[in-house]
Structure 1
Amino acid sequence: MQLIQTVVVKQILTENSKQQLFDQYHARKQQLQKECDQLQFELKRLEKTKTFPPTTLKKHFEKEIQMRKEKIKLLEFQMEQLHILPLGSELKEKEVQALVEVKVGDRWKDDAATIVIKDGIIEDIR
């Protein structure tokens, strides 16, 4: 019988991976800032058309802008934490699904498998 098991993928922090993560966070932060600017522009444009009630329109756009600003704050926090982390730390990158073959008489392991990656290369499977 085959089962689907969740496997945790962890990344060992190196200079290279640290820089890549920082670049990803920075690019995402810039994208969110552009989205905020675009939403503010759209709000002003739609306010001039007067086809929507101004209070509803403003409330909706401000909610969207606020969501993006919260994501920006989270990214800034992650960037700070990344700066503090020492090289060699293991970061949980993601979870993937794997097929596992089980038979009668096999030992049951309740703990999730883990794959450890260093600079894009599998270092260890636990």
Structure 2
Amino acid sequence: MKIIKKIAVKKIVTDQSKGQLREEYQFKIFKLEQECEQLKFEQKKLEQRSANKKADIEAKFKKEMANRKDHIKWYKYKLEQLEILPTGSEINDGEVEAVIDIEEGMNWDDLTEQTAIIVKDGMITKIT
């Protein structure tokens, strides 16, 4: 019988991976700021078309912009934490699913034991 097991992927922080993460976070912040500007533009355009629904339009757009601003704050926080993070430490990088063969007589505790894939600069260095 086959089962699916979730396996943690951990990344070892190097100067190269720090640089990649920094660029990724800065790009996401940039995209979110662009979306906020686009939402402001769309809001003004809609408010001009239907002046009687101005409060409803404003509320909807305010909520969307607040959501994006929260994401911007989160990525800025992650950037700050990235600078503090020492080289060589491990960070979680998500999960993958693996198909595992099981059969009668196998030790269940061994199967349910936490497994991890360790990645350094894009290369798998260890599977535990």
Which bracket does the TM-score occupy, shorter chain normalised?
Answer: over 0.9
CA RMSD of aligned residues (A): 1.0
Aligned partner letter, 2:69:
K
Q: CA deviation at 1:52?
A: 6.2
More displaced stretch, 100-109 vs 112-121: 100-109
In structure 2, the partner of 1:2 is 2
Question: 8 Å contact 1:7–1:97 — kept in the other structure?
Answer: yes
Q: CA deviation at 1:112?
A: 2.7
Question: 8 Å contact 1:116–1:124 — kept in the other structure?
Answer: yes
In structure 2, the partner of 1:123 is 125
Partner of 1:53, secondary structure, is helix
Aligned partner letter, 2:57:
L
Partner of 1:86, secondary structure, is coil
The percentage of counterpart residues that share the same residue type is: 38
Aligned partner letter, 1:54:
K
Partner of 2:11, secondary structure, is strand
Distance change in 2, residues 1:52/1:120 (3 Å): farther
TM-score by length of 2: 0.95
Q: CA deviation at 1:111?
A: 2.3
Mapping 1:26-65, distance limit 5 Å: 26-50=26-50, 53-65=53-65
More displaced stretch, 79-88 vs 46-55: 46-55
Larger helix fraction of residues: 2
Alignment of 1:80 with 2:104, yes or no, is: no
In structure 1, the partner of 2:115 is 113
TM-score by length of 1: 0.97
1:35-74 deviation digits (Å, cap 9, x = unpaired): 0000001001111111661111000000000000000000
State how far apart, in whole Å, the 1-side matches of 2:104 and 2:61 are. 58
Aligned partner letter, 1:50:
S
Structure 2 gap segments, 5+ residues each:
none
Structure 1 gap segments, 5+ residues each:
none
